Amino acid sequence: MDKMKAAIYSGIQEIEIQEVAMTPPPAGYLVVDTKQTGICGSDLHSYFGNWPQSDTLAAGHETCGIVAEIGEAITEFKVGDKVVIECFSHCSSCSYCQKGLYNFCHERKWISHNMHGGFAEYTTAHTSGLFKLPDTMSFEEGALIEPLAVSYRAVAQSKASYQDRLAIIGGGTIGQLCLAVAKAAGIKETLITVKYDQQYKLAQELGADHIVDISKVDLKEYVMNLTDGCRMDVAIETVGGGQNFNEALAIVRPRGSVVLVAGYYKPLEVELSRIVWSEVMVTGSNCYGYSGMETDFQASIDLVESGKVDATKLVTHRLPLTEISEAFRISADKKSGAIKVHVCQ
């Protein structure tokens, strides 16, 4: 087989199936027979032209499948392994990698590095970003490990514990998975903001203590009433935009914490005086790495395998690769009822 189908951006809000050449994997890389891939918020940023588009290579990084071909110098994987893929590769030897901070690797490269990603019939990936999945785990569960790992790290970055009140700004994929992780971790009290009915219902299913529909309720007023004016201990901002950043700052207590995990793509106006006067700690959360003694990816695999997190609750739509244009349209329109849209092969 020397040709395959790949979905490639062809303009603003345009993605189409093309027939492309298959190439053997370079040393250190392998080819994965793609089975299921989620459409990420970052994919939508590119779809809308807010982030760069490639007009030659398939994107897609929330992906899993079966190892189909192995490049030179690979011994830890074999053909037939069920695997899930991080969105970048790393060198394992630079100063950051040696400290477990491989998300800051000097040689960090995107998922397939000038080869096709998860919106193609076959995905090429570097072994440094590859994890084996248990045989009992479904492809749907596997395709949710990547966004779950992003959320796991965001909660870890917050350092919230059983004694803390945690607010999550945004009821999309990352927000809902932050909620799921927080519940599994035993956080004392959780609050999540939503805008759509499907987000509200999912937050209920995942066990949120408080759900705030920001189209109907003033968030700051709600939090002040809830906490008798004390505010939340921690806020995780998953949406992006100046208003959401400012709301996160407004609802945390003095010396509370704000974690930013949204996809920011332009400068923002932010009320920095809140940080000064309240000594609010603000930090980012960059993909995943080690948040403890194991990787965020492995911790996420364990959460799903153990049943502590049922990430499949997020999947609202499943479409074949041949219908990826429709899949993106649905994913981009939350009035469609979408939370997580999966492309299945």
pLDDT interval class at 26 (50, 70, 90): very high
If one compares 110 and 133, the residue with the highest pLDDT of the two is 133
User: Judging by beta carbons within 10 Å of its beta carbon (0-12, 13-18, 19+), is residue 19 exposed, middle or buried?
Assistant: exposed
Indicate the pairing of strand 14-21 with strand 3-11.
Answer: antiparallel
According to the model, what pLDDT value does residue 287 have?
Answer: 96
According to the model, what pLDDT value does residue 73 have?
Answer: 87
Q: Is the model's pLDDT at 127 over the cut of 80?
A: yes
Among 303, 45, 14, smallest CA distance to 179 is for: 303
pLDDT tens digits along 314-333? 999 999 999 999 999 999 99
Q: Could you say which DSSP state residue 40 is in?
A: P
**SS3 annotation, 272-314:** CHHHHHHCCEEEECCCCCECCCCEHHHHHHHHHHHCCCCHHHH
pLDDT interval class at 1 (50, 70, 90): low
Buried b (16+ CB within 10 A) or exposed e, 89-125: bbbeebebbeeeebbebeebebbbbebbbbbbbbbbb
pLDDT tens digits along 42-91? 999 999 999 889 999 999 999 999 999 999 989 999 999 999 999 999 99
- Encoded tokens for 248: 């996160």
pLDDT tens digits along 205-259? 999 999 999 999 999 999 999 999 999 999 999 999 999 999 999 999 999 999 9
DSSP, collapsed to helix, strand or coil, labels residue 260 as strand
HSE (side-chain half, CA atoms, 13 Å) at 252: 32
Among 176, 155, 174, smallest CA distance to 166 is for: 155
**Residue spans of beta strands (DSSP E) within the chain:** 3-11, 14-21, 29-38, 62-70, 82-85, 88-89, 109-110, 122-126, 130-132, 165-169, 189-194, 210-213, 232-237, 252-260, 281-284, 315-320, 340-344
Cα(223)–Cα(123) distance, integer angstroms:
45
